[in-house]
Amino acid sequence: MTLNKVYGFSMLLPLVVTFASCSQPSPQAPIELPIPAVGIVELEATILEPEQYQLLDIGIKVFDISISEEEALELGEWIFTEIRENETHYLPYVLRSTLVASNQWGPVRVLPLEDPSMDLLISATVLASDGQRLTMHVEASDSTGRLWLDKDYADQSSADDFPVSTRYTPGNQFDSANFTEPFQDIYDQVNNDLVDVRSTLSTEDLVNIKRVSQLVYAGDLAPESFAENLGKNELGRLTVVTLPAADDPQLRRVNEMRQRHHLFIDTVDQYYESLYEEMQAAYVVWRKYSYDQIEEERIATSESYDFNSYGRSRSYLTLTQRYDRYRWSKIFEMEYRDLSLGFSNEIAPAILELNEQVHGLSGTMEEQYIQWRRILQQLFKLEEEVPD
């Protein structure tokens, strides 16, 4: 993918880059986040593979968005409605990559909807997102209904998170291998919190999670056949009442169906990976320009004009500088409009690929996912009617 569309929208972009590189802004004041920032976090990773019962299958549901209208207008978010929507597919893949990098878990997949075959399901709502801050609410629960996380996370970026190399030009292409996510600390903290919760659970608890998810999936395929296998304990969590025999023909078919299903959601996860890769360069450009705009506004609002000193040359210079900043803010705003449109155009083919290239299915990825589950349910019922 190229960013020619992004670069071709305006001849003003080189001027904006020059202006931004030549200006000497005052040191950045910390953003006052309503939720404390996670700070610098080191990913809790392991070289040795955990025990098999610790390798939970994790599903990360596509994120939701909850940004107030007041905040949207304040931050200019209305310009980036489509970016906001596509961001919900981008951010979960960052979390997915982080969990995989920790080597603490079993397969980790990004999914369009909740999945009954997962041992642990993660969902999140983006509360605020721009070039200088990211705030989200994360929930995680296992197949038994045990709540692992119900927590707000926030992080803020600095100028160091956007080196000169993030100002891409046709001669300076995006290098994903050397790019570090500005808000990586959030994702590292989520992983570490999950590891901490897992460490409080016994071997029996973790084995039960895996057995319950197997039977929850079995119940999704054939509710009437597996209704009696699960019950609830005194805490209201699912637990295994009776476990089918290892050679039970229905359980064997369930495991075969589950394997087919996991092959499908592996394919779904690969499409989210492709979407992430297609979006990344344009998304980084947007974040950098968002960071610049917020910083320009901060500098402008930090300087107040004294009308009693209008005649002084220094005050006149201040007035001129403030006018220049206002003029440049309008240029920035036009650039953001063009970047927003360019961003949406750049990722459109990837979304089209995500939504249409799962063979035999149609509609959005969510619709295809529902169709697939129905197909497996029907197939399981047909196979059940055929004697072994």
Tokens of 301: 């609002």
Angstrom distances, CA of residue 228 to CA of 223, 248, 257, 273: 9, 15, 20, 39
User: Can you tell me the distance from the alpha carbon of 49 to that of 207, in angstroms, rounded to the nearest whole number?
Assistant: 17
pLDDT computed for residue 130 by the predictor: 85
User: In this structure, are residues 279 and 350 in contact, taking their beta carbons and an 8 Å threshold?
Assistant: yes
pLDDT computed for residue 10 by the predictor: 31
- Between these two residues, 65 and 210, which has the higher pLDDT value? 210
pLDDT computed for residue 358 by the predictor: 63
Q: What is the pLDDT of residues 336-353, one digit of tens each?
A: 667 667 777 777 777 777
The amino acid at 351: I
User: Can you tell me the distance from the alpha carbon of 118 to that of 217, in angstroms, rounded to the nearest whole number?
Assistant: 8
User: In this structure, are residues 97 and 362 in contact, taking their beta carbons and an 8 Å threshold?
Assistant: no
The predicted model gives 54-61 an average pLDDT of: 98
Tell me the CA end-to-end span of the chain in Å, nearest whole number.
Answer: 51
The distance between the two most distant Cα atoms of the chain, rounded to a whole number of Å, is 97
> Which percentage of the chain shows pLDDT scores above 70?
72
Angstrom distances, CA of residue 372 to CA of 41, 217, 222, 226, 386: 39, 14, 15, 21, 21
DSSP 235: T
**For residue 214, pLDDT beyond 80:** yes
Handedness of CA 239, 242, 244, 246 (dihedral sign): positive
The predicted model gives 38-43 an average pLDDT of: 96
pLDDT computed for residue 285 by the predictor: 80
Q: What is the pLDDT of residues 293-325, one digit of tens each?
A: 788 777 767 665 455 544 444 455 555 655 665
**For residue 334, pLDDT beyond 70:** no
Q: What is the pLDDT of residues 69-117, one digit of tens each?
A: 655 555 455 555 677 778 899 999 999 999 999 999 999 999 999 999 9
Which residues contact residue 248 at a Cβ distance below 8 angstroms, ignoring those fewer than 6 apart? none
Q: By C-alpha distance, which of 10, 8, 33 is closest to 157?
A: 33
- Between these two residues, 128 and 303, which has the higher pLDDT value? 128
- Between these two residues, 281 and 125, which has the higher pLDDT value? 125
pLDDT computed for residue 113 by the predictor: 94
Query: How many of the other CB atoms lie within 10 Å of CB of 277?
Result: 13
Q: What is the pLDDT of residues 357-385, one digit of tens each?
A: 666 778 888 888 999 998 888 888 887 66
pTM for the model? 0.81
Q: What is the pLDDT of residues 5-25, one digit of tens each?
A: 333 323 223 333 333 333 334
User: Can you tell me the distance from the alpha carbon of 53 to that of 382, in angstroms, rounded to the nearest whole number?
Assistant: 33
pLDDT computed for residue 178 by the predictor: 77
Q: What ranges do the domains of the chain cover?
A: 4-385
Tokens of 348: 């459109």
User: In this structure, are residues 120 and 58 in contact, taking their beta carbons and an 8 Å threshold?
Assistant: yes
DSSP 160: G
Report how many helices (DSSP H) and strands (DSSP E) the chain contains, helices first. 10, 8
